[in-house]
Structure 1
Amino acid sequence: MIRWRKGTVEGVRREWPGAVELDVTVEGDGIRRALAYPALVGRPEPGDAVLLNTTALAMGLGTGGYAMVVAIPDRLPPDPSGPGHLVKARYTPLQATVLGADEQDSPHHELLREADSLDGMPVIVADLHSALPPILAGLLTDRPGAKVVYVMPDGGALPSWFSMSIGRLRDAGVLSGVVTAGQAFGGDLEAVTVHTGLLGARLVLGADAVVLAQGPGNLGTGTRWGFSGVSAGEAVNAAAVLSGRPVGSLRVSEGDLRERHQGVSHHSLTAYGRVALARAEIVVPELGGEFGTRVASQAATLGERHDLIPVGVEGLEDVLRTAEKDWGVRMSTMGRRLDEDLAYFLTAAAAGRHTAARLA
């Protein structure tokens, strides 16, 4: 289940908030990329011996193709101090204790104890983490003063630090906060469930709107139900039960070679069409042409269960290219850039544009 290796740190490649990318000499395998989370294992330095988990590296995973630093055995970090009784990544070798926004020792416990409403706050739900930047671009172009918080459930990466996008969006001042829910950790607020994560985003961080999508590294098996994106449907239910306004962003692709993801992905059709029991506003981009007709036809199958909202995409390509340049964040999904799958990014930006109109 785990491929264990020893290695030696050769140097630091780059870093972003919460993560350090390294060159590590792996015994019997040469120099490889490795990733360390200093909050968990301490900060590796050149010359350090490190214990590695090379499972993802050996499998050739795209988003997770790193050797992961498990420990710096000759230079252990100091014991943590401070409050916090929530254990995340529970009963794994790297289980970590965090201070939950909703736990008894939290300064926010009383605020959240009986909290039960989002007061109509929009919650934009998406399947993939790559939807976060284009959704923000579409929303903030029309509502530049809006306070948008990202709520990250545990369907993909558990540490929010794995996401370079989060760090760059924070640095650009366009993402106001991060809440990590369930087994996910590393956000500004930690929450036990998506429900308290949403309440924390609204009541503690003062969000005008939330984007809720899994972290990088989603999991799919090519089966009807075996994909982590089913959580998008569950997120719609959570937002609705808390009196929020669920907004569904469709996963649309013109560049994916897999039939099940062409046009409107079966991930969206299943999550919104079968898993989501509450009504949501499903944004349908007006893409035009034969492909746009195909997308509209596929989305129409969701019409009995949800409110379908046609949204124009005029000007959004320029918005996306400007955001990519100004924010220093790469628009990329499943290895495809803007020019390789423009429809995907336009669809996510359209969900942001629709939400901006709701905030006006």
Structure 2
Amino acid sequence: MADRNGAVDVTEFVVNQRNGVKGLVDVVSPKSLPPQYVQPPEELLSAGNILAPGSSPVNVIDVSDWTDPRVAEEICEAASTRGFFQIVGHGIPAEELHALRAAARGFFGLAAEERKRYWRGDSVSETMWMTTSFNPYEEQVLEWRDFVKFEYPETEDSAATWPSVCKEQVIEHFKRIRPIAKKMLSILMIKLNSNMDDDQERTLMGTLRMNFNYYPECPNPELAAGVGRHSDINTLTILLQDDVVGGLYARATEHGDKWIQVPPVEDALLVNIGDVLQILSNDRYRSVEHRVTPNRVSRVSIPVFCGPVNDSVIEPLREALEKGEMPRYKKIVYSDYLKSFFGKPHDGKRTMESIRIVS
């Protein structure tokens, strides 16, 4: 764990020995941020580039009546402008949301050796794995985050080796989120004059994945990134934030340098548009760059990512071009898009911009 001079080899301990940043905090409890986590100045948030709270709020939409035309109107408007919105009245009981957050903390409260059993590349489960940062073998600066990824359990055996501390809660949340996602995506497709048939459903939500994101207490949160600047590469993300601690920021305008904090709203789910939906809609819907900062106390967040099956071909929908509009993106197979995104550190929206057609 230590080098010849007695100093902790942070990368070796966190990444190669599979302890994660949670292990670093538990064992070493650093009093200052290790150099491996100090972000360059241009990647740091400051008072000068954060808009004042309330000056550019994220809409909160009551979806308790999905048949209300106002619900569809507000969802499509938010997807076209801010790219982020929060929903309440979604039908998931508050106690289930609290139990899911507790399950996430419960997993990261397991003994280090138990967590290591699920480390990516050698996990005891084919549908669940854990790692740290984003792409720790490609990043020059690490992100102050560990996370577990779960794939939707198609069969009972799919989750057989998931730990009991979170298995039941994850399965139940997947079941709850799936119909909510389908209703929202159906609304967004209708606005594009497109029907959500079986083929369309495979493209929009053929895969469902869930993260437990864990951000341990950070000695210098102002110097670190929990998650770097990026946009989500799927169609739709439905996020359960920590119920107390904030840390999520979204870019206020597509090309500006201002950011807005997206605070947790009690019992709400935060929804954001992904790259695939922006491409399919030919820019009618917005996939917004966002980032996460750590705090001096630990924080969890739990996103569910709805996305295409790997062999889906992603390109602007025919319906989005019916008025003679030219396509703004090249055709790409989704697996190639994934490979490009995950093969490098977080870098804003460069993956999507790489397939934009320049006129």
Q: Please, what TM-score do these two structures have when normalized by structure 2?
A: 0.26
Structure with the higher strand share, 1 or 2: 1
Q: Please, what TM-score do these two structures have when normalized by structure 1?
A: 0.26
